[in-house]
Amino acid sequence: MDTEVLSSYLPLYVEAFFLTLKIGWLGIFLSFVLGVASAFIIHFKIPVLSAVFGAYVEIFRNTPLLIQLFFIYFGLPKAGISLSAELCGIIGLGLLGGSYMSEAIRSGLDAVSSAQTESALALGMKKTEVFTLVVFPEALTLSVPAIVANVIFLLKETSVFSAISLMDLMFTAKDLIGLYYDTTEALVLLVMFYMVMLLPVSFVGSVVEKKAGAGMFGE
């Protein structure tokens, strides 16, 4: 391995790293918002909307991100909707993640035992209070492992952004391999940067999971 090559590639990777991080976390933020909204709508069986969001969850959970991105980036402009590659990445990841987060939070909501709701009502809490102070916090706690798994999954999924010519880590690696054929160096840096991106998340995730587990009620 050539250290000179490594150091000359490094700035390119750092730039790509921050772009990947930016799009990844914005997409994850969007997916969380979308997921919570959609989980509430489906959980409370709001007419019409729950059918729409139910279909959304099924559609995006059962198709690959790569295909979704191709449709959003290459297909939609032909129907008059043109978005920049970055925006496509954020929206694509957000839509995909939203469907996964929705399932995670919804199963948390379903898992909160009815005794919790009944006890809270018996204590004289209002229905909205029961949900915001009792059911939702517990559901979120129950969903933590699934949410952590989703965040890691979504950060990994950012690797397909190169397909819509976003200059992310994958794109940089592929480009450099094509240009200079220093395959080993390009791949080593690629692995290193993904480790820098995901190891802390994986570590923090397991700590959060343990903390959330310790905060369980009624066990």
Partner 1 sequence: MGFEVLLKGSNLIRLLEGLAVALKISLISVAISIVLGTILGVIMSMDNKVIKGITRVYLEIVRIMPQLVLLFIVYFGATKVMGINISAEASSVIVFSFWGIAEMSDLVRGALKGIPAIQYESGIALGLSPVQTNIYVIIPQVIRRLIPLSINLITRMIKTTSLIMMIGIVEVLKVGQQIIEANRNSSPNAAFGVFLTIFVLYFIACWPISRFSKYLERKWET
Residue 96 or 134: which CB sits closer to partner 1?
A: 96
Amino acid type, 47: P
Does position 42 interact with partner 1 (CB under 8 A)? The reply is no
Residue 141 or 159: which CB sits closer to partner 1?
A: 159
Which whole-number Å values give the CA distances from 113 to 10, 108, 141, in the listed order?
Answer: 52, 10, 13
Smallest distance from the beta carbon of 114 to partner 1, in angstroms? 17
Does position 150 interact with partner 1 (CB under 8 A)? The reply is no
Query: How far is Cα of residue 107 from the mean position of the Cα atoms in its chain?
Result: 17
Does position 213 interact with partner 1 (CB under 8 A)? The reply is no
Of residues 3, 4, 11, 62, which one binds partner 1 by CB under 8 A?
62
Does position 93 interact with partner 1 (CB under 8 A)? The reply is no
Which whole-number Å values give the CA distances from 80 to 62, 87, 96, 118, 163, in the listed order?
Answer: 26, 16, 22, 51, 21
Does position 59 interact with partner 1 (CB under 8 A)? The reply is yes
Does position 170 interact with partner 1 (CB under 8 A)? The reply is yes
Does position 183 interact with partner 1 (CB under 8 A)? The reply is yes
Of residues 5, 21, 66, 125, which one binds partner 1 by CB under 8 A?
66
Does position 194 interact with partner 1 (CB under 8 A)? The reply is yes
Amino acid type, 22: K
Does position 102 interact with partner 1 (CB under 8 A)? The reply is no
CA distance 121 to 101: 28
Does position 162 interact with partner 1 (CB under 8 A)? The reply is yes
CA distance 161 to 94: 13
Which whole-number Å values give the CA distances from 117 to 40, 124, 138, 212, 217, in the listed order?
Answer: 16, 11, 11, 20, 13
Residue 77 or 215: which CB sits closer to partner 1?
A: 77
Site residues (vs partner 1, CB under 8 A): 58-59, 61-64, 66-68, 70-71, 74-79, 152, 156-160, 162-163, 170, 173-174, 177, 183-184, 187, 190-191, 194-195, 198-199, 202
